């Protein structure tokens, strides 16, 4: 089975949240406490509370699970889950005689279940199934067999029934209802497994100096049983685990079981599993669970304890596993985001008390363009606000100048990203506007005059507000450097940072004709590498400028950015 859609109402920070067209590997990204965990916890709650009874009491239950702690018996927590059925699932459904009697044929693909958690009193609630539908074929409505279905399956006389007949009808209805619920419960209950982000070490070290393992004793015991099993299915699973561990070159790729303990072989030595790094233990534990358990998985922060190289390899393994097992992942990892299918990535943000989600839309060449520009998707999706500038010089210079007039852009959560439009021949402004809009990240653009045509095009399409853009009147940022400071900074950087000895003639030329072309001609003549010279000279210029040296135009632009992002 595969989760196709999930709707949640009034659960924790999720007032009214919907996921649709859910893929094989779904990524939730967002800040701490944005509500990512609440989504996978809601899934876990639905699958684990699903019961063979239409209603059941839940106790104890924390009042904090209601949105904003607004507890109203008439406003229950609501779930709607739509599952895409595979061939095996449909065969199971058709094997149930009562469902067959209702007239269901092998045509349906989706099973939709509505359920509620109703408040009763402090620490007590009631789980209730309100409807079950196979495609458009309603099996249960308002907690009862759908009326038309009852008439189809319970053949009773048309004349006014005797009390005993009515009683028989009710008993038959209750029996069929109970059978259907029990049957579907067997398909659903416990089929989602949540691996939370809090994964502590277990137990006390048996001897001085020995570490505590981060793998729970019951999981260690099950790993040992799997390795020692002679059952063909278990042997196959163990082989899969070993192959995966070898493919990512994990320390735990060679495992020995000695006296019912897990040891890791490394060259000529054996070490207890607790003595190796937490990242390698984490990988072994997660891979074991993913291979042996047929559940749908929710994994919170799988990157915990993993170094970047192992993160990349492990994410590739997760993508492979998701081809046969649906996975939901919450993460803060830029690596996971950059390697994922952006169309299956959701950004979770909290406004006031409510969590909201936005699905990213992946254009065919989006990643290619971003990487070409020197950016990664995570640069955008983990940003609070984006200031788009021409190049790396502006990225360095503007924050320094802003501080000189009392504005710290970092306090506004601003990420400064260069477009390199002049170098690349295109600014891709429409792409920037659309991707930041989808990611719900505010954007402000400060660009050179070369970007005028592209900027006018997105303005004419009303893709960006007028006061969220600015073109330098003089042309580019270097045109605003005070000439004396510019010349002094250029000479200092060239001689000190690039170890290029300038002649008196070159120094005079820089002082008399302080501009980019003059400096570049002198650097070319030296025959040495001078990459990044504009940035370094810009940095030195900005450091030496006082507030009085900063032109009013620059001050007004920086102040406008601060007002926009306040």
Query: 190-233: per-residue pLDDT in tens?
Result: 999 999 887 555 555 555 445 677 788 888 899 999 989 999 99
Instruction: Find, among 356, 362, 285, the residue nearest to 31 by Cα.
Output: 356
Q: Where are the alpha helices (DSSP H) in 208-330?
A: 217-228, 232-247, 278-292, 308-321
Q: For the residues 445-462, what does the mean pLDDT come to?
A: 91
Residue 2: is its pLDDT beyond 80?
yes
pLDDT at 151: 45
Q: Which CATH architecture has domain 361-477+555-565?
A: 3-Layer(aba) Sandwich (3.40)
- Predicted pLDDT of residue 155: 43
174 and 145 Cβ atoms separated by less than 8 Å: no
Picking from 20, 9, 28, the residue whose alpha carbon sits closest to that of residue 348 is 28
Q: Kindly report the CATH class assigned to 195-351.
A: alpha beta
Inter-residue contact 9 to 317 (CB < 8 Å): no
Lowest-pLDDT range of 377-381, 427-431, 522-526: 377-381
Question: What b-and-e string marks burial along 395-404, b requiring 16 or more CB atoms within 10 Å of the CB?
Answer: bbbbbebbeb
Most confident by average pLDDT, 44-58, 261-275, 471-485 = 471-485
Tens digits of residue pLDDT in 362-393: 555 566 666 656 677 777 777 889 999 998 99
Per-residue pLDDT band for 251 (boundaries 50, 70, 90) equals low
Q: What is the percentage of the chain residues whose pLDDT exceeds 90?
A: 36
> Which pTM value belongs to this model?
0.74
Q: pLDDT grade, residue 336 (50/70/90)?
A: confident
Residue 444 has pLDDT above 60, yes or no: yes
pLDDT at 157 over 50: no
Is there a contact between 95 and 187 (Cβ–Cβ < 8 Å)?
no
The residues pairing with 124 across neighbouring beta strands, listed in sequence order, are 121
Where is 80: in which H helix or E strand?
A: strand 77-84
**pLDDT over threshold 70, residue 147:** no
- In this structure, of 5-19, 460-474, 504-518, the range with the lowest mean pLDDT score is 504-518
Q: Poorest-confidence range of 266-275, 320-329, 541-550? A: 266-275
pLDDT at 163 over 60: no
Distance from C-alpha of 31 to C-alpha of 12, rounded to nearest angstrom: 16
**Of 254-263, 286-295, 495-504, minimum mean pLDDT range:** 254-263
pLDDT at 295 over 80: yes
Mean pLDDT of 512-541: 85
Mean pLDDT of the chain: 83
Contacts (Cβ under 8 Å, ≥6 apart) of 188: 47, 50, 83, 113
Q: CA-CA distance, 327 to 298, in Å (whole number)?
A: 6
Give mean pLDDT, residues 330-359: 84
Name the percent of the chain lying above pLDDT 70.
86
Least confidently predicted of 11-20, 305-314, 323-332, 473-482: 305-314
Nearest Cα to 284, choosing from 325, 328, 253?
A: 253
Residue 566 has pLDDT above 50, yes or no: yes
Which range in 86-100, 350-364, 436-450 is most confidently predicted, on average pLDDT?
A: 436-450
Beta strands 77-84 and 2-11 are antiparallel
Calculate mean pLDDT across residues 151-162.
45
State phi, psi for 392 to the nearest 5 degrees.
-70, -25
**The pLDDT of residue 154:** 39
Instruction: Please tell me which residue, 500 or 541, carries the higher pLDDT value.
Output: 541
d(CA 329, CA 408): 34
pLDDT at 167: 56
Cα–Cα distance for residue pair 9/16, rounded to 1 Å: 4
- Enumerate the β-bridge partners of residue 160: none
Between 210 and 70, where is the model more confident?
A: 70
Ordered alpha helix ranges (H), 248-332: 278-292, 308-321
CB–CB of 194/40 below 8 Å?
yes
């Amino acid at each position: 089975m595969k989760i196709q859609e999930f709707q949640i109402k009034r659960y924790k920070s999720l007032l009214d949240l919907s996921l649709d067209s859910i893929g094989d590997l779904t990524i939730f990204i967002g800040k701490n406490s944005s509500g990512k965990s609440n989504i996978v916890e809601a899934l876990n709650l639905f699958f684990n509370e699903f019961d063979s009874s239409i209603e059941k009491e839940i106790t104890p239950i924390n009042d904090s699970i209601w949105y904003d702690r607004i507890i109203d018996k008439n406003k229950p927590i609501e779930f709607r889950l739509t599952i895409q059925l595979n061939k095996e699932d449909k065969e199971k459904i058709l094997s149930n005689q009562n469902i067959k009697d209702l007239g269901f044929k092998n045509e349906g693909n989706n099973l939709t279940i509505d359920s509620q958690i109703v408040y009763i009193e402090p620490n007590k609630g009631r789980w209730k199934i309100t409807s079950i539908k196979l495609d458009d074929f309603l099996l249960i409505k308002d907690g009862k067999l759908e009326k038309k279905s009852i008439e189809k399956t319970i053949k009773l006389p048309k004349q006014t029934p005797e009390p005993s007949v009515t009683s028989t009808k009710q008993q038959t209805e209750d029996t069929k209802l109970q059978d259907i619920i029990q049957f579907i419960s067997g398909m659903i209950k416990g089929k989602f497994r949540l691996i939370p982000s809090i994964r502590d070490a277990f137990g006390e070290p048996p001897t001085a100096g020995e570490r505590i393992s981060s793998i729970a004793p019951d999981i260690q015991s099950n790993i040992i049983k799997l390795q020692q099993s002679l059952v063909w299915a278990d042997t196959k699973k163990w082989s899969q685990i070993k192959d995966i561990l070898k493919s990512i070159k994990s320390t735990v790729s060679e495992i020995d079981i000695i006296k019912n303990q897990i040891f890791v072989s490394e060259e000529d030595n054996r070490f207890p599993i607790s003595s190796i790094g937490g990242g390698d233990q984490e990988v072994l534990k997660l891979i074991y669970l993913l291979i042996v358990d047929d559940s749908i998985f929710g994994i919170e922060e799988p990157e915990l304890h993993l170094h970047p190289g192992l993160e990349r390899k492990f994410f590739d393994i997760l993508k492979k596993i998701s081809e046969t097992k649906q996975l939901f992942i919450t993460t803060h990892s830029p690596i996971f985001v950059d390697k994922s299918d952006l169309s299956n990535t959701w950004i979770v943000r909290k406004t006031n008390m409510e969590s909201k989600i936005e699905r990213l839309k992946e254009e065919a060449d989006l990643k290619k363009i971003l990487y070409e520009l020197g950016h990664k998707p995570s640069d955008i999706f983990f940003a609070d606000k984006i200031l788009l500038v021409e190049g790396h010089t502006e990225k360095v210079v503007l924050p320094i100048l802003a501080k000189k007039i009392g504005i710290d852009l970092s306090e506004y959560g601003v990420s400064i990203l260069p477009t390199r439009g002049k170098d690349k021949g295109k600014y891709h402004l429409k792409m920037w506007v659309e991707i930041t809009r989808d990611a719900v990240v505010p954007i402000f653009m400060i660009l050179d005059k070369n970007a005028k045509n592209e900027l006018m095009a997105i303005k004419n399409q009303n893709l960006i507000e007028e006061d969220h853009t600015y073109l330098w009147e003089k042309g580019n940022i270097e045109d605003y450097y005070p000439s004396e400071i510019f010349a002094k900074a250029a000479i200092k950087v060239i001689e000190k940072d690039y170890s290029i000895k300038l002649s008196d003639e070159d120094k005079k030329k820089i002082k008399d004709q302080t501009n980019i072309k003059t400096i570049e001609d002198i650097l070319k003549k030296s025959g040495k590498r001078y990459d990044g010279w504009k940035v370094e000279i810009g940095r030195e210029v900005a450091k030496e400028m006082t507030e009085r040296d900063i032109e009013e135009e620059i001050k007004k632009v920086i102040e406008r950015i601060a007002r926009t992002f306040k």
